[in-house]
């Protein structure tokens, strides 16, 4: 995939998305911007729930917004949190990211100071469980 990654633009959009976060329980707003292979950018924020368990993270909301727009392949993801400490995606989100991003995809975190740290998806979720394993199991007779 040869999509050019405009990190500054992704950081700006992730920050703007965090401004829309609905986080009355944790007071921890999160914004995410993802770059699709189409070149379009999609964003998400965390949307909390009084049940707590009904909360959805910014990463999964960004991916859902992109999927409903017809996207299936992505080049990069940036998380923004308004604090010094750079925040990588939670475990559940890493699994959902692995559904649509390749292991070498950059997954980055940025903050209000403009710092940016990047990992590959494989660094965040080594030996990920992916749809390829399901495809393999259908070939085995039960
Ligand atoms: O990667 C993460 C980690 C946490 N959160 C949200 C969930 C919850 O609303 C708040 C505190 O965990 O931050 C995200 O959106 N993404």
Ligand 1 pocket check for 86: Cβ under 6 Å? no
CA distance 36 to 52: 30
pLDDT of amino acid 141: 59
Provide Rg for the chain, Cα atoms.
15
Say if CB 20 and CB 32 are below 8 A apart.
no
- Domains of the chain, CATH where assigned: 7-137 (3.40.140.10)
59 part of the active site? yes
Of 2 and 14, the structure prediction assigns the larger pLDDT to 14
pLDDT at 50 over 60: yes
pLDDT per position as a tens digit, 22-38: 999 999 999 999 999 99
- Predicted pLDDT at 12: 98
Structure confidence at residue 135 as a pLDDT band (50, 70, 90): confident
- Report the C-alpha gap between 117 and 94 in whole angstroms: 16
> Atom 15, ligand 1: which residue's CA is nearest?
57
How far does the chain reach from its first CA to its final CA, in angstroms?
38
Mean pLDDT score, 14-19: 98
Q: Which of 59, 71, 99, 123 is catalytic?
A: 59
* Average pLDDT along the chain: 95
Atom of ligand 1 nearest to the CA of 45: 15
Return the DSSP state at 55: -
Report the separation in Å between the CA atom of 60 and the middle of ligand 1, taken as the mean of its atom positions: 10
Name the residue with higher pLDDT: 60 or 135. Answer: 60
CB 74 within 8 A of CB 35: yes
Distance 142 CA to ligand 1 centre (A): 40
Q: For 57-106, how does the pLDDT look when each residue is reduced to its tens digit (9 = 90+)? A: 999 999 999 999 999 999 999 999 999 999 999 999 999 999 999 999 99
């Amino acid at each position: 995939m040869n999509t050019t990654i405009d990190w500054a633009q992704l950081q700006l959009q992730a920050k703007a998305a965090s401004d829309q976060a609905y986080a009355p329980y944790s007071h921890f707003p999160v914004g995410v911007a993802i770059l699709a292979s189409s070149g379009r950018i999609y964003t998400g924020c965390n949307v909390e729930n009084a049940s707590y368990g009904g909360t959805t993270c910014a990463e999964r909301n960004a991916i859902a917004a992109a999927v409903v727009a017809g996207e299936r392949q992505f080049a990069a993801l940036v998380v923004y949190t308004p604090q010094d400490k750079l925040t990588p995606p939670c475990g559940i989100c890493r699994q959902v990211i692995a559904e649509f991003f390749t292991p070498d995809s950059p997954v980055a975190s940025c903050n209000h100071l403009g710092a940016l740290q990047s990992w590959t998806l494989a660094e965040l979720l080594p030996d990920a469980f992916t749809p390829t394993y399901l495809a393999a199991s259908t070939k085995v007779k039960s």
